[in-house]
Amino acid sequence: MLQLRHILVLVIVVLLCGCDRGWPPKKERILEHFAEYKSGLETLEARMAESDYHSVWAGGWRQGSDEIPDYVGVGIETDRGRVRTRITGQEAIEWNTAFLNARVWSITNNDRGTRIDLMVPFPKDTSGWVAYQRTTDVDDTWVECRDEFRDVRCGFCTITLEDNWFIRVGWYQYPIDEQALDAYAEGNMPLEELEAIEDELYEQCYDEGAEIIEYPNRD
């Protein structure tokens, strides 16, 4: 079974292909995507506002079939905490249609509003995420992205759009302590100690980035 989100990844990567030196990667293509699919994004946002879900992500697609998949994954808040499950039938078909119409693959309600995730390739050895965020809850920690951030190892930044829409970007280069990894592999260091070392390296990486970005933007 070919997952719908995999199909959307192919569509979005093709959409975002092209060379640029801006930040985030494929910045101009992302802006073009927003202009072209804003209506679909707002339709998806409205559907999310009417639901009781914390998050929804695209379901599966049978290879060789033109039928919209009849299930999606959802996150639900319960008395036991947040749980993940799936829904099927007509509601799922409507969700998957909305995802296709917006060319995105997941949507989440967070503490600032609605987050809609994009698939954007980052440079080698860098992990990151790019998401649309619609919110009125903005403060001075939302630093505008600048092209020189491409040379920052770890950080967060924002692109202001219109109608309370923003592009939120987070990225990091995976910090490695070779000696610690070797010690763990040889059985001479417990996992908890290795994780503590990695956490400290992440903190250092983001602190270094904050000096260039000028304000820590870490939610």
Tokens 């967070």 — which residue?
Answer: 110
- Supply the pLDDT for residue 125: 82
Total count of domains within the chain:
1
Has residue 137 been placed in a domain? yes
Tokens 């994780």 — which residue?
Answer: 195
Has residue 104 been placed in a domain? yes
Q: What residue type is 170 in one-letter code?
A: G
In the beta sheet, which residues pair with residue 18? Answer: none
**3-class SS of residue 87:** strand
Has residue 130 been placed in a domain? yes
- Supply the pLDDT for residue 63: 52
- Supply the pLDDT for residue 85: 93
- Supply the pLDDT for residue 64: 53
- H helix intervals, the chain: 4-16, 27-49, 90-102, 178-185, 191-213
Has residue 218 been placed in a domain? no
Q: Return the structure tokens found at 217.
A: 């933007």
Q: Which residue range(s) make up the domain with 202?
A: 2-213
User: With a cut of 50, which residues of the chain have pLDDT below it?
Assistant: 1-2, 7, 9-18, 217-219
Has residue 9 been placed in a domain? yes
Q: With left for phi above 0 and alpha for psi between -120 and 50, is residue 164 left, alpha or beta?
A: left
Q: What are phi and psi of 107, to 5 degrees?
A: -140, 140
Has residue 6 been placed in a domain? yes
Has residue 58 been placed in a domain? yes
- Supply the pLDDT for residue 7: 47
**3-class SS of residue 150:** helix
Residue % of the chain over a pLDDT of 70: 85
If you write DSSP's letter for every residue of 19-31 in order, what string do you get?
----SSTTHHHHH
Three-state DSSP string of 157-174: EEEECCCCEEEEEEEEEC
DSSP state of 104: -
Tens digits of residue pLDDT in 149-158: 998 999 999 9
- Supply the pLDDT for residue 191: 92
For the chain, the residue count is 219
Distance of CA 206 to the CA centre of its chain: 18
Has residue 219 been placed in a domain? no
